[in-house]
Structure 1
Amino acid sequence: MDKDTSKIRALERWCLEQADDCRKVHGLLLDENSRLKLAKAIGAAVQRASLKLACLARGEDPQGAWGPSDWPLMRPIRAGAPIERRSVRFDELVKGWMSERRPVEKTVYEWSRALRQLSEFLGHDYAGRLTADDLIAWKESLVAADLRPKTVRDAKLTPVRAILQWAVDNRRLPSNPAERVTIDVKVKSAESKRSFTDEEAAIVLRAALREKDLVRRWVPWLCAYSGARLAEVCQLRVQDILQIDGIWCMKFDPEAGSLKTRSSERAVPLHPAVIECGFLDFVASVKTGPLFAHPSPDKFGSRGGNGTKMLGRWVRSLGLKDERISPSHSWRHRFKTLGRRYQLAPDIVNAVTGHGKRSVADRYGEFPMEALRQEIAKIPAVSIS
């Protein structure tokens, strides 16, 4: 290859690279023919600029000899050419996704924050410029900052992937660069969360009976015999303790505070042990409003965050130091364990705990409150004597 040919090839490669950068910045959908047209247009624009600069350097007026009629490659592409995607910003996608999906306020806050962090890492907020390589570099920076792989996956990559997929589904972006960007999350058996044992459950429930603080007194008992999330219990109101088909229940209602999933909205029969220890008398004494006015709600209106911190410190103070114990979530693990031990119907256990339906068959029919009560009653009361 002679010297002139080599220069031409280098210029062609440069024009193609500039065309690819232009496509990413403006979110364009281009086939190969349109890509070549764009590269030629860029080359022509550079050539025109060079000629104009040369004319100006000689003191000449460049307008007469080089006008728009000589720029055929810059004319609009005819109808039928690939659709262009205007450049969109991350916050535009978040707003579109939010208006359609209507997530809870906490999810909006956390997912928006993840997109902002990505934007800060990139140095721009144009979704059309984002590549898989960018996301891999961001992932590596998060790992280098000592974030746990599970946090990187669930709190960072998952929001980005979901919002970008919404953009693809709604023709805002041509593809989802996060589609195959993942991180290996391996939890060692020694680090995985576990249930409270019978002995540990007895320690907590026995201590709760001596408590004057209403959260420490009642929340552990309600969680222990229902597998409910601590945040759900902390935001119960007086009207959420009611009779359904003659059975005393606690109802988890989104009007009381945000719930994690659609399946979380449910009613759960009170276990006989909870009733026998005087819970209904306590409810009657509150009259109206939230059962647990303390702790105060956080900025999302949930009492669960502050309640989790308070109960976490209290449970640890009882001598339960094993890091595999989650002071709030180990009750949920325990309820699942007891469901297997006493052979409760798995679908009813899921209905009680508010876990999502796993198959089409699970979506058929309802769960009569009597059926839920019968299964829950199979779990014996913890011996606290």
Structure 2
Amino acid sequence: MEALERLYASARTGEQGLTHRQMVGLAGEVYGLLRSRFDDDPGDPAAWEAWKAFVRASRQGRIPTAPSISSEELADEREEAARLFGPDLTAGIDALPPSGDRAALEDRCGRLTWWVLSRHGFHVDRATRLRLLEHVADACLDAGWALKRAAAGDYTPDPKALRFPKVETRAAGASISDVFDRWKAEAKPSASTVTTWSGVISSFKAHLKHDDIARVTDGDVIRWKDALVAEGKRPRTINDSHLAALKVVMNYAKRNRIITANPADGVRTKATKRAGERMLPYEDSEVARLLAISARETHPARRWLPWLAVFTGARIGELAQAWGSQIREIDGIPVLEIRPSPDGGTLKNEGSERVVPIHPALVEAGFVEFAHKCGNRPMFYGREARPGAQGRHPSKGTSNHLATWVREQGFNDPRKAPSHASRHWFKSTASRVGIPDSVADALQGHSDDSSASTYRHVALKSLAEAIARIPVPSNDREPDGALPVPPMTAASA
């Protein structure tokens, strides 16, 4: 069924011609199919003699019809061949006049020709198919000779097997670069994804030393993966970044009938999770210290982003691109609408778009007033992205600078990402204070990818009650254990 679906799909793209080299290469795949199927147990040499007789008579148009070749089993055609051609098969065939009729050739080699065309997703015109039928018949004769010798105990390598070139399935514009560009235009990934994946695709092309997507094999992908391992790249990075990017691009090419199979399917490096490598959340004391340091800052990103990360559990990229207009009140509850920014900022996936109530600590600290002063403009980066601008969204720079700043404050544990450790802390704390996982997932934009999860909508009041249960970690450096939360000044806004 898969082969039939590929052939129907290719038919929708229109007929195409094949070069002489492609047709010989396709015929070679038929030769390889027959040899692989019958080499181990070739049967009787006389059976192959009769088999070849029907191929030759069909190829030369000397008979009106012929039995079809099956690659699954060898039919014993000796009796029928003797009846039709006589005891001397060669002389009997030569005695029949040749014609231009191709009906018997279609009967004899049509199934094998259809098999190899559908294997590559080719939909060819009638003239091309007739020429390919002749090449397939010639390959069948070569295979028949080799299998007849094998049946007689002679497995000498067949020099004719070397005459078949590898099939080149080039399509106009089917370079890896072009396919990647088409995917970008259609999928509209985030600027950071484009930047990362552009490097991945460049790495793969450099390894291949060409840019032809149709020439890529699973062996190419495996060798590239092995080279990345040899370079010392982490297994998780190879699987989740390099191979993941390549698989998406190759799947796009497959869906758009540029290639018939994804050569990266199933390729992975063994990623063993070792003790001491799993990323960790901040401890309560670390969160308290980070919030205290942040509370003394006047730069908006340093002042508010750590607090937002701690008390919403959101990804720092979602927060860094937020505009003041995304802070509003719904049913008396102040909320942050996490959505793509008006100037082109993006979210990780569909489930990332959500409404998160503002934690009472943020309200008390003056964040809502700060947001309202920002109004319909970015809160944490200065200049809006230009309409239609390509490249990294300006909020990405804010996220990177914040991570550097957090490290500079002494948060140097390599297993605790400067900003993402707050997201881990939120999820861990939610579990500790009894917030159901489904509610925590809704707050953080996590999805279990099940269809059931798409039907679950947690009421805003329930989300607000859950947010309010997230405790404010105490800071033992302050006399009363409370965090210093000076109001945001106009200058800071």
- What TM-score does the superposition give when structure 2 sets the normalisation length? 0.60
Aligned 8 A contact 2:318 2:338 in 1? yes
Q: What is aligned with 1:209?
A: 295
**How far 1:299 moved relative to its partner?**
6.2
Q: Aligned partners of 1:30, 1:241: CA distance in 2, in Å?
A: 66
Q: Aligned partners of 2:284, 2:208: CA distance in 1, in Å?
A: 50
CA displacement, residues 63-115 of structure 1 (integer Å, 9 cap, x when unaligned): xxxxxxxxx9xx99989732454413213432443454443343344334322
Q: Aligned partners of 2:260, 2:416: CA distance in 1, in Å?
A: 45
In the alignment of these two chains, the number of paired residues is 329
**How far 1:301 moved relative to its partner?**
4.8
CA displacement, residues 235-284 of structure 1 (integer Å, 9 cap, x when unaligned): 11111001122211111121341111111111110011110111122223
Aligned 8 A contact 2:281 2:421 in 1? yes
1:165 and 2:251 correspond: yes
Q: What is aligned with 1:8?
A: none
Give the partner amino acid of 1:172.
I
1:271 and 2:269 correspond: no
Q: Which has the higher mean CA deviation after the structures are superposed, 196-205 or 79-88?
A: 79-88
Q: Which has the higher mean CA deviation after the structures are superposed, 145-154 or 200-209?
A: 145-154
Q: Aligned partners of 2:289, 2:416: CA distance in 1, in Å?
A: 13
Give the partner amino acid of 2:467.
I
Give the partner amino acid of 2:415.
R
Q: What is aligned with 1:185?
A: 271
What secondary structure is seen at the aligned counterpart in 1 of 2:312? coil
Q: Aligned partners of 2:334, 2:221: CA distance in 1, in Å?
A: 51
Q: Which has the higher mean CA deviation after the structures are superposed, 224-233 or 107-116?
A: 107-116
In 2 relative to 1, CA 23–226 (structure 1 residues): closer, same or farther, beyond 3 Å? Answer: farther
In 2 relative to 1, CA 29–282 (structure 1 residues): closer, same or farther, beyond 3 Å? Answer: farther
**How far 1:154 moved relative to its partner?**
1.7
In 2 relative to 1, CA 145–247 (structure 1 residues): closer, same or farther, beyond 3 Å? Answer: same
Select which of 323, 328, 336 maps to 2:419: 328
Map 1:300-315; keep pairs closer than 5 Å.
300-315=391-406
Aligned 8 A contact 2:191 2:390 in 1? no
Q: What is aligned with 1:283?
A: 371
Map 1:174-253; keep pairs closer than 5 Å.
174-253=260-339
Q: Which has the higher mean CA deviation after the structures are superposed, 365-374 or 221-230?
A: 365-374
In 2 relative to 1, CA 29–209 (structure 1 residues): closer, same or farther, beyond 3 Å? Answer: farther
Give the partner amino acid of 1:368.
A
**How far 1:306 moved relative to its partner?**
2.0
**How far 1:368 moved relative to its partner?**
1.9
Aligned 8 A contact 1:195 1:325 in 2? yes
Select which of 293, 301, 309 maps to 2:381: 293
Q: Aligned partners of 1:293, 1:164: CA distance in 2, in Å?
A: 36
Give the partner amino acid of 2:446.
H
Aligned 8 A contact 2:309 2:423 in 1? yes
Aligned 8 A contact 1:204 1:220 in 2? yes
In 2 relative to 1, CA 295–200 (structure 1 residues): closer, same or farther, beyond 3 Å? Answer: farther
What secondary structure is seen at the aligned counterpart in 1 of 2:334? strand
What secondary structure is seen at the aligned counterpart in 2 of 1:225? helix
1:133 and 2:219 correspond: yes
Give the partner amino acid of 1:135.
V
Give the partner amino acid of 2:300.
L
Q: Aligned partners of 1:383, 1:299: CA distance in 2, in Å?
A: 44
Aligned 8 A contact 1:193 1:324 in 2? yes
Q: Which has the higher mean CA deviation after the structures are superposed, 232-241 or 277-286?
A: 277-286
Q: Aligned partners of 2:226, 2:326: CA distance in 1, in Å?
A: 46
Map 1:334-373; keep pairs closer than 5 Å.
334-373=425-464
Aligned 8 A contact 1:295 1:307 in 2? no
CA displacement, residues 112-162 of structure 1 (integer Å, 9 cap, x when unaligned): 432232112111111221112211211122222222222211221111122
In 2 relative to 1, CA 243–25 (structure 1 residues): closer, same or farther, beyond 3 Å? Answer: farther
Q: What is aligned with 2:346?
A: 258
1:152 and 2:238 correspond: yes
Q: What is aligned with 2:30?
A: 32
In 2 relative to 1, CA 99–209 (structure 1 residues): closer, same or farther, beyond 3 Å? Answer: closer
RMSD between superposed Cα atoms in Å:
3.3
Gaps of 5+ in 1: 1-21, 37-71
What secondary structure is seen at the aligned counterpart in 1 of 2:335? strand
**How far 1:229 moved relative to its partner?**
0.9
Q: Aligned partners of 1:348, 1:248: CA distance in 2, in Å?
A: 18
In 2 relative to 1, CA 34–304 (structure 1 residues): closer, same or farther, beyond 3 Å? Answer: same
In 2 relative to 1, CA 105–306 (structure 1 residues): closer, same or farther, beyond 3 Å? Answer: closer
Q: What is aligned with 1:14?
A: none
Map 1:3-14; keep pairs closer than 5 Å.
none
Q: Which has the higher mean CA deviation after the structures are superposed, 253-262 or 369-378?
A: 253-262
Q: Aligned partners of 1:89, 1:165: CA distance in 2, in Å?
A: 14
CA displacement, residues 309-335 of structure 1 (integer Å, 9 cap, x when unaligned): 322232223322211111110011001
In 2 relative to 1, CA 375–320 (structure 1 residues): closer, same or farther, beyond 3 Å? Answer: same
What secondary structure is seen at the aligned counterpart in 1 of 2:205? helix
Q: Which has the higher mean CA deviation after the structures are superposed, 171-180 or 335-344?
A: 171-180
In 2 relative to 1, CA 145–377 (structure 1 residues): closer, same or farther, beyond 3 Å? Answer: same
**How far 1:34 moved relative to its partner?**
9.2
Q: Which has the higher mean CA deviation after the structures are superposed, 103-112 or 231-240?
A: 103-112
Q: Which has the higher mean CA deviation after the structures are superposed, 298-307 or 154-163?
A: 298-307
Aligned 8 A contact 2:323 2:374 in 1? no
Q: Aligned partners of 2:27, 2:180: CA distance in 1, in Å?
A: 22
